Chains A and B, each alone.
Chain A
């Protein structure tokens, strides 16, 4: 397979490697603009309040201040799903909510002006968690959403958007079960995926209704669509992407910061930059959704699932654009990993007075599984079954199926991942280590070892449409027109490899346009797991299309049929007759050829990632140390070996495995302030304490595009947290119910500490 390729699967240098390591790569904050103004945001000190009065006169009088905007000064622009949330509103809904925007000639003046804005609030009672939000008579965050329940479904996924899973007959399923387990588990630590670069935008308004935006978005073309609706479909938007300092799924949407920049540019007629600080990024951008599930699971003695019944509680924060989409995708993803004939899985999306939730890698599925796999584990424990075997058995196989986000049923036509799982288990030594449920694998004095396993996969590999152009020039070069911003994974370099392979020209003969919605065709963005199959297909199709045009142009000149031609290194020749050839130069200096590639969504193929983890628990202090991680997957075909390794090594941070160890956003339960919006108190793993990481990567050709690959980067994190919870529970001999497994929680599970984190004696 791989050996037949010239570029695919080979170690090649990233296009931007030298720029990145030498610091010359241009990120948003490096771009220079003439007459640029700087925007800053005044943020609410209250979790829930009405703005009674704002006096901005002192701020406006400060020399250098060019605009001060409050909810009274802006058009009725709204975001969120449903689209109810004004960009600046009369009401503030979390500590840090935007109250006013300032544009000034320097950042310092803008900041000084914030202090001069006088705001009078009428403080309202707040609901900081789902329990208080759902209480009868709880204060309402939106008048439109009684009970603080946000309606399900997003029009982005069509009129039948998946809102839960109902199929078969759960009562019959439970009647057939040998064991039934019931429980409640939560993944409610709302970790922040925290890419190194905070979000920001530069907007340049042109009267009467045009705006150009440079931003930290990884999906510039999608921004054009998102913002078009936010701006009441009245503004013509051009979005330009650049180097993005990491995303981890979060930067598909930066609409708040983009809207602030646009409003300020519109008010001043000058380009305005709004760049969030690290603190704003951590406390006023987006977090994972909070997830808690109460469910019953029916299982036969052999691990066959018979019924799943329950309610998934989803904490969306004060609003979200994407929660309903995450619920849809997450529900489908649960079906992929838990093939079961009888389902009744409902969900409730709850608004709370904390910072917004948003898109994050694992998109709903990671959050749901971190809560659900422990309940599945309770059933396995009752049936005394090995979790590896049960997870392997219940993962979708060819011929199986699932509902996906649009509400339709899809029959799976991908590969059986059992081989990759078996290989992973072998590498980890699962069979030798597994000693049964709630049993440590080893005890060394006060230290106990435990193991756990998790699995995740999605049908997002083929989600959403993608389009690309490839243009050929007579000098033997090609240009890719694609609206993908490089968000750190190296995908743009991979697209060049795909084109190089199709056209058989060296990588250095391939250029790429900037991600500019004025220049390129539609592209949804390198999100979910779609970069390799969906975007890759559009790029491959464009390259094949232009190659076809090239052959059609050259064929008459060679006296051959197009299908008999081949091209290598800018020379077209007749197959088998290399002497019958013409250089691309034959196109003439005054001609270029353009190929168009499009990908239509395909939800019939899934990726898969299985995580095996080993932890050490200090039963004296409650400290958990992650010792070893083995990730097992099958990618069909490796495109870029180092890129893949980097993606898999990235499983720890970015709201991944470490969201079970120590990563969490700490919301002060008495006031709603995020207390750890800094990198001392937000526990991000450092390079000095990495566990052993091993990867098992198989290459079984997949029915995707001509290179038979699927993307797995996104899902590297997803099966990890529940595996850690399982491993720690096994090590200490009792179930932990919450993430992360802090010393406090471990000591409580052991019975050494009697207070509960939620208050009161146990």
Chain B
């Protein structure tokens, strides 16, 4: 690890001011479970000059529930979310998603805000600098995403994220970054139609994750997540969260699916189905949602929806299996 400045922010305003002062050369540290590893492996092209600690800001770790829904402070720990009685009772998809993250030790440290803002896990991007690295992938000044020619078993099956500064002809989708969005929480939040409140705006979770080859969210360099708001779920909502990994604990998702189906006497009134780890952003399976509406949910409907959910996929050389697994997870999300 290299030397850096360390600031304990006492308020959100102070944290934002510090971020502005460093002009993009500082990083926020909350739980640190993602950042410290990245610093140790010298993953970033430019090593941050400063870390701004927001654990020192009081009152950001709440989990509050009222008749409108649930409000969670950005500093709420994943372990606290898992344990929260109201989350377990009314928003269990979120509890399950939080529980699926890493290990007890990491969940004790990690925050929900950090989980949403975490960096991609792509092994080309994260390649350790000291073993002949870094690998010059698209995110690090390369011309192409290293996953195109390399081992892409865990990469996107739904195309690439474009470079943000439109310097390349983006007519061809293959010119982007194929790293997948790593957040388990993100998938659940979109399925529950949550909103993310930042220091600059409030926006639907679906719009918060706007992947480019440089960043996975819409957050500006001087912007922080403050709160997550989840509306009260409709009556009859059936929530499911499922995550496929090679090992039961620890692993990031190979594919994850969060779904919320609103059923009335077995008939689907509304459906929200979101896939994770299959694309640079969480993917709403809108076509699958539509074909279900107004129909009695059964296995055939589930299979049909699963096909629709993956209809637009274009797997790379080594990850066609992810398409198959994603279909299975969507099917199970709808029909047990």
- A binding-site residues for B, Cβ under 8 Å: 43-46, 95-97, 108, 111-112, 114, 277, 279-280, 283-284, 620-623, 662, 666, 668-671, 673-678, 680-681, 683, 685-686, 688-689, 742-744, 747-748, 752-755, 757, 759
A409 to chain B, nearest CB (A): 45
Knowing that A279-B41, A671-B135, A680-B252 touch, tell me 20 more A-B residue pairs with CB under 8 angstroms. Answer: A46-B132, A95-B131, A108-B3, A112-B2, A666-B123, A668-B146, A668-B150, A670-B146, A673-B127, A675-B151, A680-B121, A680-B250, A683-B247, A686-B103, A686-B247, A686-B250, A742-B153, A743-B244, A743-B321, A755-B317
Instruction: Quote the shortest CB–CB distance from B310 to chain A (angstroms).
Output: 13
Contact of A45 among B121, B123, B132, B251 (CB under 8 A): B132
Q: Indicate if the CB atoms of A674 and B321 lie closer than 8 Å.
A: no
Does chain A have a CB within 8 A of B209? no
List B residues at the A interface (Cβ < 8 Å). 2-3, 41, 103, 121, 123-124, 126-128, 130-133, 135, 146, 149-151, 153, 244, 246-252, 254, 315, 317-321, 324-325, 328
Contacts of B321 in A (CB 8 A): 622, 742-744, 747-748, 753
Q: Is the interface of B mostly helix, strand, loop or mixed?
A: loop
Of chain B, the residue at the smallest CB distance from A748 is: B321
Expressed in whole angstroms, the Cα–Cα distance for A673 and B321 within the complex equals 23
Asked if B251 and A680 sit within 8 Å, CB to CB, the answer is yes
CB nearest to B126 among chain A residues: A678
**Bound CA–CA A43/B128 (angstroms):** 11
Cβ–Cβ contact B320 & A754, under 8 A: yes
Give complex CA distance A686, B2 in Å. 31
Q: Are B133 and A45 in contact (CB under 8 A)?
A: yes
B317 in contact with A759 (CB, 8 Å): yes
> Are A673 and B132 in contact (CB-based, < 8 A)?
yes
- Contact between B153 and A744, CB atoms less than 8 A apart: yes
Q: Given A676-B123, A688-B249, A689-B249 in contact, is the A279-B324 Cβ separation under 8 Å? A: no
| B132-A96 in contact (CB<8A) | yes
A45 and B130 alpha carbons, distance in the complex (Å)? 9
Q: Are B249 and A755 in contact (CB under 8 A)?
A: no
CA distance A680 to B33 in the complex (A): 13
Q: Which of B123, B146, B149 has the largest count of A CB atoms less than 10 A from its CB? A: B123
> Taking the nearest CB of chain A, how far is it from the CB of B35, in angstroms?
15
Give the CA-CA distance A425 to B324 in the complex, in Å.
37
Instruction: Please tell me if the beta carbons of B318 and A744 are within 8 angstroms of each other in the complex.
Output: yes
Instruction: Give the chain A neighbours of B103 by CB distance below 8 A.
Output: 686
Q: How far is the CB of B312 from chain A (nearest CB, A)?
A: 18
Chain A binding surface, main DSSP class? loop
Given contacts A686-B249, A688-B248, contact A674 B121 (CB under 8 A): no
Contact partner of B151 (CB less than 8 A), chosen from A95, A284, A620, A668, is A668
Q: Are B131 and A747 in contact (CB under 8 A)?
A: no
Q: Are B324 and A280 in contact (CB under 8 A)?
A: no
Q: How far is the CB of A635 from chain B (nearest CB, A)?
A: 32
- Chain A, Cβ-Cβ closest to B153: A744
B153, B251, B317, B325 — which one has the most chain A CB atoms within 10 A of its CB? B325
Residues of B within 8 A of A284 (CB): 131
Residues of A within 8 A of B121 (CB): 680
Distance between Cα atoms of A280 and B131 in the complex (Å): 7
Could you say which of A662, A668, A673 contacts B246, with CB atoms under 8 Å apart?
A: A662
26 A-B pairs with CB atoms under 8 Å apart are A44-B132, A112-B2, A283-B131, A622-B325, A666-B151, A670-B150, A673-B133, A673-B135, A675-B123, A675-B150, A676-B123, A677-B131, A678-B41, A678-B126, A678-B128, A680-B250, A683-B246, A683-B251, A688-B249, A742-B246, A743-B246, A743-B321, A744-B321, A747-B324, A755-B315, A755-B320
Q: Which residues of A contact B250 (CB under 8 A)?
A: 680, 686
In the complex, chain B residues whose CB is within 8 Å of the CB of A111? 130
Contacts of A621 in B (CB 8 A): 244, 324-325, 328
Q: How far is the CA of A662 from the CA of B2 in the complex (A)?
A: 34
Closest Cβ neighbor of A92 among chain B residues: B132
Contacts of B248 in A (CB 8 A): 686, 688-689
Measured CB to CB, the nearest residue on chain B to A625 is B248
Closest Cβ of chain A: how far from B336's Cβ, in Å? Answer: 11
Q: Please determine whether A669 and B150 come into contact, CB atoms closer than 8 angstroms.
A: yes
Give the chain A neighbours of B244 by CB distance below 8 A. 621, 623, 743
Q: How far is the CA of A752 from the CA of B326 in the complex (A)?
A: 13
Q: How far is the CB of A495 from chain B (nearest CB, A)?
A: 37
Query: In the complex, what residue of chain A is closest to B121 when comparing beta carbons?
Result: A680
Q: Which residues of the partner chain B approach A277 to less than 8 Å between Cβ atoms? A: 130
**Bound: A757/B3 CA distance, A:** 42
- Contact (Cβ within 8 A) B324 A752: yes
CA distance A535 to B133 in the complex (A): 43
Q: Which of B128, B254, B315 has a CB less than 8 Å from the CB of A677?
A: B128
Nearest-Cβ distance from residue A116 to partner chain B, whole angstroms: 14
Residues of A within 8 A of B246 (CB): 623, 662, 683, 742-743
Closest to B104 in A: A688
Chain A residues closer than 8 Å to B254, beta-carbon distance: 743
Closest to A662 in B: B246
Inter-subunit contact B247/A689 (CB<8 Å): yes
- The reply to whether A669 and B249 contact each other, CB–CB distance below 8 Å, is no
Using CB atoms, name the residue of chain A closest to B154: A681
Q: Which residue of B lies closest to A283 (CB)?
A: B131
Least CB distance from B149 to A in Å reads: 4
A610 vs B202: C-alpha distance when bound (angstroms) = 62
Q: How many angstroms between the C-alpha atoms of A623 and B41 in the bound complex?
A: 31
Q: How far is the CA of A404 from the CA of B244 in the complex (A)?
A: 46
Contact B127 A675 (CB under 8 A): yes
Across the interface, do A671 and B131 meet the contact criterion of CB distance under 8 Å? no
CB neighbours of B3 from chain A (8 A): 108
CB distance from B255 to the nearest CB of A (A): 9
Question: Complex Cα distance A143/B146, Å?
Answer: 31
Given A45-B133, A95-B132, A96-B131; A671-B318 close (CB under 8 Å): no
- Whether the pair B131, A279 counts as a contact (CB closer than 8 A) is yes
In this complex, the member of B254, B315, B318 whose beta carbon has the largest number of chain A beta carbons within 10 angstroms is B318
A443 and B303 CA atoms in complex are apart in Å by 22
Cα distance, A669 to B151, chains bound together (Å): 7
**Hey, which chain B residues are within 8 Å of A666, CB to CB?**
123, 151
**Across-interface contacts of B247 in A (CB, < 8 A):** 662, 683, 685-686, 689
A757 and B150 alpha carbons, distance in the complex (Å): 12
> Smallest CB–CB gap between B254 and chain A, Å?
8
Name the residue on A nearest B315 (C-beta).
Answer: A755
* Cα of A138 to Cα of B157 in the assembled complex, Å: 34
Q: How far is it, in angstroms, between the C-alpha of A334 and the C-alpha of B177 when the chains are bound?
A: 47
Min C-beta distance of A317 to chain B, whole Å: 15
Residues of B within 8 A of A283 (CB): 128, 131
User: For the complex, what is the distance from the CA of A677 to the CA of B129, rounded to whole Å?
Assistant: 12
Complex-state Cα separation, A95 to B150, whole angstroms: 15
Q: Which residues of A contact B324 (CB under 8 A)?
A: 620-622, 747, 752-753
Closest Cβ neighbor of A43 among chain B residues = B132
Q: CA–CA, A757 to B151, complex, Å?
A: 9
CA distance A757 to B328 in the complex (A): 21
- Chain B residues lying within 8 Å of A757, measured Cβ to Cβ, are 318
Q: Is the CB of A681 within 8 A of B123?
A: yes
- The smallest C-beta distance from A515 to any residue of chain B, in angstroms, reads 31
Residues of B within 8 A of A669 (CB): 150-151
Cα A629 to Cα B27 with chains together (Å) = 47
**Residues in B neighbouring A623, C-beta threshold 8 A:** 244, 246
Q: Which of B132, B153, B247, B249 neighbours the largest number of chain A CB atoms within 10 Å of its CB?
A: B132
List the 10 shortest-distance A-B pairs measured between CB atoms, nearest first.
Answer: A45-B132, A744-B321, A670-B149, A675-B123, A620-B328, A279-B128, A283-B131, A95-B132, A96-B131, A668-B150
CB atoms of B135 and A279 under 8 A apart: no
Whole-angstrom distance between the alpha carbons of A56 and B127 in the complex? Answer: 25
Distance (Å) between the CB of B5 and the closest chain A CB? 16
A359 to B130, CA, bound (A): 24
CA distance in complex: A114, B247 (Å): 36
Chain A residues, Cβ within 8 Å of B2: 108, 112
Interface centre among A284, A622, A668 (most CB of B within 10 A): A668
Cα distance A317–B222 when bound, in Å? 47
CB of A280 within 8 A of CB of B130, answer: yes
Residues of chain B with a CB closer than 8 A to A45's CB: 132-133
